[in-house]
Structure 1
């Protein structure tokens, strides 16, 4: 019988000698063997009863190699946990991202399954279990995105042929305008007044400069230009275990924030009282040992301040207060984007679009302006020409 051979793949009669004569085992077991060599020069083979089945399997493998969808059967057998450990060790992550990813890899119900054996149904069941557990839609989306990034990496590494997380339906998150809390001016005044342990200026940086928690903690005295009344946001403080870690601002949020005069004066008083001397890179907010504040040290001060003020809001809501003030003052989306340090104007709009005046609001304002102009003109005519002239205006 004729054998089909080439350097990388072949279908062979296992029970015939090279000269074509039958061997002693002829006709026993799976007669036909299909074999191929992968890109790493490893040989793979599989036995079949019929030659047509062997050739069909080999054709499928060859097609996958040509189209780039080939998956190494040996590598695809590694578990989700094993792949994550190997892949995550190569990632350049900030500590908080690594902590979140490690947690997801630890709790997914399919962590012990082979990567190639994980199906879309496994992902759907996991998402449903999180919904049943009462987790917020945003939390579920964050965990899902972490799992999806793992499977995308596995597909690029030819561990899996497809992405089982693709197009999985997630619970719908509530609209931003329904969930956003914006403190009132009175609330912010109470928070500043009742701030504990040097925390008043920190609160003001969040409320009147729009800084995030880590950005405010990362301010150095040299970042403040008191003459130009501006602040350079150049870093943030993150927590690494129980110690602070200096990192760049979130996703390219380096920026210059223009400060109101009252905030500049508050910063000046804070520096004069708490850190009057030292190099320009000294921290604006430190503990008694000179260690900059990070999230847990900020957190307890915020909780005590909020309780003393009787105000129920998050620290991040002060950033919303700042954004709402810029929008109310007529700032356009690009101005607000740059002030907040958003990477794109799309991010700003998706968060704060509901705060900008709508077409209806602008129409009413314009019409009110027209009516005011007519009323003023009528009043002027009445004063200048008398009642008869004014009556012509329909007053």
Structure 2
């Protein structure tokens, strides 16, 4: 059990020491009249003593009761833990705790250093208020001019920092509690249709770009996944492609193979026979490296070096100009693949798995409008089919009526109509 100490007076005065002129029967200490008088002292769950200063004896006693009760209920939080600065906790505790690859860690650090630390970096964790959290989220748009899904993406990292602080018993409650997260506002994708994709393939000025374009449209691979594709991950016999890595670039490191961001990214994509034949012909003509760091890499530049992202982007822009289409990015071929699956009637879960999204909500958020278009086409197909059926029924009725003098026996008419609709 804790106890209260009187900082202004000595507990064991020496004989003959002068009495306090302000408090009878007390001997003043060196701290007399400086700061708050009463000190609450108690042991934390770890056995270490904690202290806090208070203006009155009653306040100090209440603090001890509060802390002892918190220990009993398991809700105790070290009052000094929340004094750690937001920037320190974010970079030294939260970031290392994330189960992410090196490239993603660099991305997350960049988000923290650009948007969170400039605003709250030197603030103590416990000092951030919900009103300030709400205002900070608005700054992402008004000050930092983020748009689309980026405000929500950036805010999710800050909210995660404070959630971990709650779990680590640094603070009792996150300042984002009760503050709605920014809504995702992705720009509706407008993927190229198949005729446009075929024009791009036709306009490609090298086998490398032609096959990469065609394969991207038939698999939905991300640029890094496509450029990092190796021969032993293509199952020519069963028509399947195993996605397990990506080619990335890092300043100071150059290009290298890296794990995918999420486990969902590791997936198997069924290949149509056209894609199998396309790859087989390309490999027969352009042999992948048999040794070295890029062993088995399908798409390389002259000399066996991998294709960099900027090089691939430049090539696609040149092809778009030659094909006289709107400028496109490699990711739009991924959207094309998704649109083909959706138009073909694939359900969201299948599309999610093919694209390697971590959850179906991500898939729906990006492609919801394409499903809406598919639903609309389904209604049109059904309506058109029923119109044709009714037209055929009426035509048959007219012929039957003419043959029988304008009258169809009542017992036969319903059977005739049902037969025509069923056909």
Task: Out of 280-289 and 258-267, give the one that drifted further.
Answer: 280-289
Q: Normalization by structure 1: what TM-score?
A: 0.83
Task: State the alpha-carbon separation in 2 of the partners of residues 335 and 51 from structure 1.
Answer: 66
Q: Which residue of 1 aligns with 2:44?
A: 38
Distance 1:367 1:76, change over 3 A: closer
The one of 374, 385, 388 aligned to 1:372: 388
Q: Which residue of 1 aligns with 2:130?
A: 120
Is the Cα contact below 8 Å between 2:288 and 2:296 reproduced in 1?
no
Q: How does 1:56-95 map to 2 (within 5 A)?
A: 56-87=62-93, 88-95=95-102
Stretches of structure 2 lacking an aligned partner (at least 5 in a row): 16-24, 418-423
Q: Which residue of 2 aligns with 1:180?
A: 189
Q: How does 1:244-323 map to 2 (within 5 A)?
A: 244-248=256-260, 250-275=262-287, 278=290, 282-309=296-323, 310-323=325-338
The one of 138, 147, 159 aligned to 1:136: 147
Q: Which residue of 2 aligns with 1:10?
A: 3
Task: Out of 272-281 and 229-238, give the one that drifted further.
Answer: 272-281
Is the Cα contact below 8 Å between 1:244 and 1:292 reproduced in 2?
no
Q: SS of the counterpart of 1:96?
A: helix
Deviation at 1:227, TM superposition (A): 3.1
Deviation at 1:257, TM superposition (A): 2.0
Task: State the alpha-carbon separation in 2 of the partners of residues 387 and 267 from structure 1.
Answer: 62
The CA deviation string for residues 275-319 of structure 1, in whole angstroms up to 9 with x for no partner, is 167489601112334343353343333333334333233322212
Deviation at 1:89, TM superposition (A): 3.4
The one of 139, 148, 158 aligned to 1:147: 158
Deviation at 1:98, TM superposition (A): 1.4
The CA deviation string for residues 25-81 of structure 1, in whole angstroms up to 9 with x for no partner, is 289545533101223333222344532111112223334444444432333222122
The one of 180, 191, 195 aligned to 2:200: 191
Deviation at 1:153, TM superposition (A): 1.6
Is the Cα contact below 8 Å between 2:288 and 2:297 reproduced in 1?
no
Number of matched pairs: 384
Stretches of structure 1 lacking an aligned partner (at least 5 in a row): 1-5
Is the Cα contact below 8 Å between 2:39 and 2:53 reproduced in 1?
yes
Task: State the alpha-carbon separation in 1 of the partners of residues 136 and 176 from structure 2.
Answer: 11
Q: SS of the counterpart of 1:311?
A: coil
The one of 224, 232, 255 aligned to 1:243: 255
Deviation at 1:271, TM superposition (A): 1.0
Distance 1:17 1:254, change over 3 A: closer
Distance 1:67 1:200, change over 3 A: farther
The CA deviation string for residues 170-225 of structure 1, in whole angstroms up to 9 with x for no partner, is 55443x6x621121223212221233552121111221111122221222112222
Q: SS of the counterpart of 2:50?
A: strand
Deviation at 1:144, TM superposition (A): 0.8
Is the Cα contact below 8 Å between 1:215 and 1:249 reproduced in 2?
no
Q: Which residue of 2 aligns with 1:337?
A: 352
